[in-house]
Amino acid sequence: MTAPPPIPARRGATVHSLSRLAGVSVSTVSRALKDDPRIAPATRRRIADLAREAGYMPNVLARSLSGGQSGLIGLVNGPMQNPFYAELLAEAVNQAAERGQRLLILHAGTGPIEDRTSEALLHYRVDGCLVASAELSSRAAAICAERGVPLVMVNRVARLHASAVSCDNEAGGRDVAKFLLAGGHRRPALVLGTVGVSTSDGRERAFIARLAEAGLRLALRLHGHSTYEGGHAAGTAIAALPAGERPDAVFVLNDIMAMGLLDAVREAGLRVPEDLSVVGFDDVPAAARRCYGLTTLAQPLGTMVRRGLDLLAARIADPALPDESVTLRGQLVVRHSARLPDPARAG
Amino acid sequence: MTAPPPIPARRGATVHSLSRLAGVSVSTVSRALKDDPRIAPATRRRIADLAREAGYMPNVLARSLSGGQSGLIGLVNGPMQNPFYAELLAEAVNQAAERGQRLLILHAGTGPIEDRTSEALLHYRVDGCLVASAELSSRAAAICAERGVPLVMVNRVARLHASAVSCDNEAGGRDVAKFLLAGGHRRPALVLGTVGVSTSDGRERAFIARLAEAGLRLALRLHGHSTYEGGHAAGTAIAALPAGERPDAVFVLNDIMAMGLLDAVREAGLRVPEDLSVVGFDDVPAAARRCYGLTTLAQPLGTMVRRGLDLLAARIADPALPDESVTLRGQLVVRHSARLPDPARAG
DNA sequence: TTGAAAGCGTTACCAA
DNA sequence: TTGGTAACGCTTTCAA
């Protein structure tokens, strides 16, 4: 009868077990593992080999406990039914991974954030947090500031205790107005999303201001939820207007609503852009599909995320850095949901 | 000259600082904070108050170091351009939050998973991991098994060292075949997504088997990337076929491709469903939009995620539990992208 | 009902 | 170039 085989170490290798195997101290192991130049190359290699064989996996939780960073970036995201947020998430995940950081999703949805959620941000000691949706409560933001957890708003205007990166909403609103005016539209309407979204203000203000310069006023101003359904409802309402009162162009403040609106007005029998021009904002991938062909103001999402992570990284390295806002210029992508400028007139 | 005000504790309250404030030991604080019945109610309340005032935030990293769980669930997700994965993510985030767990996103994209990514799973000591996309390398899976990290495949068939929850792909394929046959289609085609996706096999096999029972064979079998563009390319190819060789129905194995295919065949001038019936799989939200009106086999995504988290929770509690596969029945959602069964014939 | 102390895995400072 | 040791914040066992 043979002795039973030794039970393999269930809990994996640690710097401790490696130090015993290598016959060196834990500090040497720790240093060797992070390629500290002070460790003799031979020792370093030996430990690296041992670590590989043993299937050593550093415990980042322990590492961050010991003064370091967690490598965790929090993300407070908007509703994933909106492809803009889906894309934002994808960008953030991939770009963070390139920097050796991981995304902890704190929220992905509409509506206010539960207290439990905003606290998780602190519980998990994220190194920083990207906020792309419904405002974090000011209390949560204040706690983050107090604790030195940098916050960066993405596609949201700056707030107290947070940096921000967003599209130049004023320029965007103005560009859309200019484009619509050049197209000869005389009865422009505006469709806004969920109230209280900070980016809407700039877009609306600049849009209206530019119209005013041309002596025009808004023919209609509607509010809806920032969803496909919200846009659909707005479109149905517009299509139901008597022809004389109907706007000849609509600026919809985000693409997901613009798509809903487009479907609704077409269902109602209106032709786009002959009867109604539609312009969106965001340039989500689906906007390019033939069944939408949406003219829209593209946000430079990849760059926004990159700059957001940059701001975060800088503040993680030096928490004393002041809040900073960066504004990126978007670009009008012309497709066929809006009447094109008359060459004769524009010429 | 006044003494400078004391610098506030920069690093937040800890069980230690609270114990000093309350004049009790750290163990008492620790216990009081988790409502241990052994602590006198008065003490408990006093400590709770102190904790609130001090803005105490437990450090879950430290907690999990000390033998507990991290509360972190890993997610290896597919490309977010596919609304199916966006929805899956949203479900997972919200349902995990209800269970007091947070999602660590390890991957969100197409293509193989980098080693760094799959290792992060171990580095962060996730309690378990949901895998919804491209296979984790077998090596990673083996390590997880060895380390006792439960894995649950979602919308993927079971693999070694992992539980799984998926839609009944066989039943789904059969249901679609039955529906198409009842609609009088005689030249059915199949469009598959990215090769090697484990769920495709069952759908295809059952679809073909049911056709065979009716004496029919596949008129065409195409492969593409599981993207809108992949579907679009397939649609273009089908529309380019001479009318005599063209299939009269296509079963597209996922909705994102079905939408691309739908747009492509319509662009090419075909009428759906008069010239071609299209049936998808998944039932993503956009499938219901008027411009698609896609008949598709709906996956019970909410339930799939729920059962997935259940499987995980059970294995976190008892790592000795054997792997388990759960199969959920999907449901055909009939819209107007496919010719309806002839009532007389279906009689 | 409460306290003391060990331990979780790492890092970093101070010696050697 | 390497080792010892004290944190980091929390939980838990064992005593009292």
| CATH number for the domain that contains residue A44 | 1.10.260
**Phi-psi category of residue B229: left, alpha or beta, with phi > 0 → left and psi -120 to 50 → alpha:** alpha
pLDDT, position B11: 67
pLDDT, position B253: 98
Mean pLDDT of A156-162: 85
pLDDT, position A111: 75
On whether both A34 and A113 belong to a single domain, the answer is no
Per-residue confidence band for B251, with pLDDT thresholds at 50, 70 and 90:
very high
Task: Tell me the average pLDDT of chain A.
Answer: 92
- Is the per-residue pLDDT at A9 higher than 70? no
Choice among A89-93, A202-206, B34-38 with the minimum mean pLDDT: B34-38
The Å distance, CA of B75 to C1' of C7, is 31
Mean pLDDT of A120-144: 87
Domain annotation covers residue A333: no
Domain annotation covers residue A341: no
Domain boundary among A280, A300, A320: A300
On whether both B180 and B264 belong to a single domain, the answer is yes
Mean pLDDT of B258-279: 97
Residues in chain B: 347
On whether both A175 and A287 belong to a single domain, the answer is yes
Per-residue confidence band for A347, with pLDDT thresholds at 50, 70 and 90:
very low
Instruction: Tell me if the bond preceding B273 is cis, omega within 30° of 0.
Output: yes
The values of phi and psi at residue A249, to 5°, are -155, 145
On whether both A133 and A252 belong to a single domain, the answer is no
Choice among A104-118, B146-160, B277-291, B329-343 with the minimum mean pLDDT: A104-118
Domain annotation covers residue B64: no
The string of pLDDT tens digits covering residues B96-113 is 999 999 999 999 988 778
pLDDT, position A344: 58
Domain annotation covers residue B267: yes
CB contact under 8 A, B286 and A286: yes
Domain annotation covers residue A2: no
| Structural domain for B88, as ranges | 72-167+301-328
The string of pLDDT tens digits covering residues A255-313 is 999 999 999 999 999 999 999 999 999 999 999 998 899 999 999 999 999 999 999 99
Q: Which residue of A has its CA nearest to B108?
A: A90
pLDDT, position A11: 67
Residue B62 in contact with partner chain A when CB distance is under 8 A: yes
On whether both B226 and B307 belong to a single domain, the answer is no
On whether both B77 and B162 belong to a single domain, the answer is yes
The Å distance, CA of B15 to C1' of D16, is 22
SS (H, E, C) chain A: CCCCCCCCCCCCCCHHHHHHHHCCCHHHHHHHHCCCCCCCHHHHHHHHHHHHHHCCCCCHHHHHHCCCCCCEEEEEECCCCCHHHHHHHHHHHHHHHHCCCEEEEEEECCCCCCHHHHHHHHHCCCCEEEECCCCCCHHHHHHHHHHCCCEEEECCCCCCCCEEEEECHHHHHHHHHHHHHHCCCCCEEEEECCCCCHHHHHHHHHHHHHHHHCCCCCCEEEECCCCHHHHHHHHHHHHCCCCCCCCCEEEECCHHHHHHHHHHHHHCCCCCCCCCEEEEEECCHHHHCCCCCCEEEECCHHHHHHHHHHHHHHHHHCCCCCCCEEEECCEEECCCCCCCCCHHHHC
The string of pLDDT tens digits covering residues B188-221 is 999 999 888 878 999 999 999 999 999 999 999 9
Distance from CA of B191 to the nearest CA of A (A): 20
On whether both B128 and B39 belong to a single domain, the answer is no
pLDDT, position A89: 98
Rounded CA separation B246/B238 (Å): 7
On whether both A258 and A276 belong to a single domain, the answer is yes
pLDDT, position A143: 83
- Is the per-residue pLDDT at B7 higher than 80? no
Domain annotation covers residue B336: no
pLDDT, position A68: 84
pLDDT, position A7: 36
pLDDT, position A266: 96
Domain annotation covers residue A226: yes
Instruction: Verify if strand D has an atom below 7 Å from the CB of B40.
Output: no
- Is the per-residue pLDDT at B10 higher than 60? no
CB contact under 8 A, A81 and B291: no
On whether both A188 and A201 belong to a single domain, the answer is yes
The string of pLDDT tens digits covering residues A63-100 is 999 988 999 999 999 999 999 999 999 999 999 999 99
Per-residue confidence band for B1, with pLDDT thresholds at 50, 70 and 90:
very low
Q: What is the CATH number of the domain that holds A245?
A: 3.40.50.2300
Chain B partners within 8 Å of A293 (Cβ): none
3-class DSSP assignment, residue B184: coil
- Is the per-residue pLDDT at A182 higher than 60? yes
Instruction: Verify if strand D has an atom below 7 Å from the CB of A14.
Output: no
pLDDT, position A140: 79
Residue B314 in contact with partner chain A when CB distance is under 8 A: no
On whether both B124 and B179 belong to a single domain, the answer is no
pLDDT, position A67: 84
pLDDT, position A345: 54
Q: How many CB atoms lie within 10 A of CB B293?
A: 16
Count how many domains chain A has: 3
On whether both B174 and B269 belong to a single domain, the answer is yes
* Between residues B177 and B156, the one the model is more confident about: B177
Task: Tell me the average pLDDT of chain B.
Answer: 92
On whether both A152 and A205 belong to a single domain, the answer is no
- Is the per-residue pLDDT at B152 higher than 50? yes
Residue B61 in contact with partner chain A when CB distance is under 8 A: yes
Mean pLDDT of B318-325: 94
- Is the per-residue pLDDT at B118 higher than 90? no
pLDDT, position A1: 38
Per-residue confidence band for B239, with pLDDT thresholds at 50, 70 and 90:
very high
Cβ pair A143, A161 in contact under 8 A:
no
The string of pLDDT tens digits covering residues A95-126 is 999 999 999 999 998 877 877 788 899 999 99
Instruction: Verify if strand C has an atom below 7 Å from the CB of A9.
Output: no
Domain annotation covers residue A345: no
Nearest protein residue to the C1' atom of D7, measured from CA: A66
Mean pLDDT of B245-267: 97
